Structure formats: structure tokens, C-alpha cells
Amino acid sequence: MLRINRIGIDGIGPIKNLEIDFDGKFNIICGQNGIGKTTILDCLAQSFGYSDTSIKRTAKLEKGSWKIDISINGNVQSKSFEVVSFHPNERKANSLGFYQNSNDIIVFKTQRNIPYQHLQSLSTDPQKQIGDFAQETIEGSLPDNLKNWFVNRHLWSVHKDHLDESQLQNIALAKECFNILNRDISFKRVNPNSNDIMLDTPNGEIYFEYLSSGYKSCIAVLIGLIKEIEFRYKNPSKFIKKFDGIVFIDEIDLHLHPEWQAKIYEALKIILPNAQVFTSTHSPHIIQIANSNEIIPLTFDETNEVKLNKIINQEYGCQGWTVEEILTDVMGMTETRTSTYLDAISDFNQAIDNDDFETAKAQFVILDAMLHPENSLKKILKIQLTGISIDD
């Protein structure tokens, strides 16, 4: 079992000084843009690479560093890394990472598009070595061989004694992944004439590449995880639910409809019950359903330094918060309403204060058309308008 317990970061990207303790199961890094979510993920993942790194020091500092505490089968180990590089073509750190354990690390960056791919023939699994897995801590795993893997396993699964028990479990779970987000979509067959994966939908049979960008992004992660497990564990193979390594997913909510954002969070917990997951998100819906110990909220303090946001409830997290409250107090949005609305409500209130009925009425007409049909503010505004009308 591999776990990351703690990291300390000094002078890396936007982060001058930050220490974080991690949950052994699920960790969700959140905060406004540019606060360092991806920087933290990169520091964690690239601690398991060679000396190459894409991590850069803070612009105004001469060097940066981070220290990571991990446990390997219960044995606690620490390692420090120093970075002086800042320019794009500089990629060196001053020490080797825990590269011997890089096969237990799976990284998904934001490149999760799956364009149509014509398989003229099926190829065997790539024969990856430790060096390949170490390099993927920087570049991430790509979905380009996902279709080949799926079709290969599907075809061999019907032949007795060709796939072992773990491989059969993996391909069965991979097929179930197609309907995790939408129960009306399911795997149907592999077209024998074209090696295409065909899905059943309410609108008929479609190629799996015809799914929406958000749906394919989800598939790239879920089935991509199963594929990567099989590439890493050959003799013996491993069922993904027994994987006890570490998974990194940058922007877990990428392209996903809000309803699906919660489902991908729940799906990862189902297929990775023994792994440690690190992810970043901009989704208030994921933050809203997460456990308090899973949320790592970042904020800027009064000196504009990145710190942990202490506002999160330690018992319930944000499970009783509204989406708007999460957007402002966790995601750092200064305002959740448009400037058009703010101007209209300001002009209305000023007109009410000045007993200017005509101006207030004109702004009320705008607000009445602008607000949600069931918004109770409409009634309040109408009462205020009636009040100055009666006074007149």
C-alpha cells in the first residue's frame, strides 16, 4: 500500500509557504484560478519520477522546494526536492523521486479528449517499464490506446482460459462504466466489421465516440484507470478494486454537467475503494457532497499568500451550504450576480430612497423581467414600489 501523508511547499509557482496533511482515501483541492491547485498535484505526482520535472520556482525567488512524507506498506519515508528552474526549457530537480514506486502512480491531466479512432487491427498491450511510468508522472496517461484495450479484452473474454479472473472482472466493470452517468446509456457490442464500440441509447445505437465531450472525459478517467491498472500489473494481474496505489486527476469536473459532477465523484469511490485519490475541482457541487476531511480549500490571505481556508465545517464540510455560498467563500468569487443585475437593483434602491416613483417603476420592470419567475424578491420589490406610490 502506498500513501502520501503530508507535503510542505516553499517558493513553487504561486505558493510561498504551505503545509498540507492528506486524507488516506480522497483529497479534493479547490480554490480560485491561479491559486496553485495544479501546482500541488504536480509536486505530489512528480515526487515519484526521476530528476526531470515540469515544476517551476516562484518568479521572484532564486529557488523553490517541497518535502513529501509518504508511507510504503506502513513504512514512513520522506524526501525533499529543490528547484531553481523557471524557464520553459528547464526541467531538472536536484534529486531523484520515489521512481521505484511509479507503477503505483496513475496521473490524468486535462487532456482527456477521445476522437474517433479506426482500428484496422488490434495491437498487444504496450510493454511499459518503470521509466515509462516515471515519465507519466509529468505527462500523464493518455486515452489514445483505450479503445484498443477495451476491444481486445472484450473479444478475448469469450474464450475460456484466455483472460484470468482479474482481467475478466476488469472488462466487466469497464462495460458498466458506460452507464454510470446515465442509466439510459449502456454497452451493446463491438462491431466485428470495424472493431467499433457500440452503445445503446434512447436515440438508438451509436459509436461510443459520439458521446458528449463531458461523457467521454468521464470515460477517459474511469475506463482509463482500468486500462492503466492492466498495463502495470501483468503477472499477476490485478482487479482495479484491489489497487492500493495513488491516482491524480486534474480538474475532475472537466466538461461535466453539474448533475454528473457528483456522479463521477461517487463512481471513483466505487471502483477505487483501496486507492488514495487526489483531484482538483472548480465544481461547487462536488464540494457540496464531499466529506469534510476530503476538502482542501485554498485561499489568499491578507498578504496575498496561499493558505488553507479555515471556513470549512470540520464535521459536515459544505453539505449544508448553498452553491452560492461555496462559490463565494470557497471558490473565491467576489460576486455571483451580473453587473447588469447589480446596476438595476442599485438604481431601484436609490429611487426608493429618493421617493422617485417613475425611476423605481422603470427599474422594477427591468428586474421583474430579469429575475427567476419564482424569485420571492419580485414580491418584495413590488411592495416597496407600491409603498412610494401610495405615499405620492
- Confidence at residue 142, expressed as pLDDT on a 0 to 100 scale: 87
Instruction: Tell whether 374 is covered by a domain.
Output: yes
| Contacts for 129 with CB less than 8 Å, ≥ 6 apart | none
For residue 63, give its domain range: 2-142+238-329
Could you tell me the CATH number of the domain that includes residue 12? 3.40.50.300
- Confidence at residue 390, expressed as pLDDT on a 0 to 100 scale: 56
- Confidence at residue 276, expressed as pLDDT on a 0 to 100 scale: 98
Q: How many domains are contained in the chain?
A: 2
Residue 16 shares a structural domain with residue 89 = yes
* End position of a domain, from candidates 329, 355, 379: 329
Residue 300 shares a structural domain with residue 350 = no
Residue 77 shares a structural domain with residue 37 = yes
* End position of a domain, from candidates 310, 329, 348: 329
- Confidence at residue 389, expressed as pLDDT on a 0 to 100 scale: 73
Instruction: Tell whether 197 is covered by a domain.
Output: no
Instruction: Tell whether 372 is covered by a domain.
Output: yes
Residue 244 shares a structural domain with residue 349 = no
Task: List, for residues 223-268, the tens digit of each pLDDT value.
Answer: 999 999 999 999 899 999 999 999 999 999 887 888 888 889 999 9
Positions in the chain short of pLDDT 70: 93-94, 390-392
* End position of a domain, from candidates 292, 310, 329: 329
Residue 349 shares a structural domain with residue 316 = no
Instruction: Tell whether 281 is covered by a domain.
Output: yes
pTM of the model: 0.90
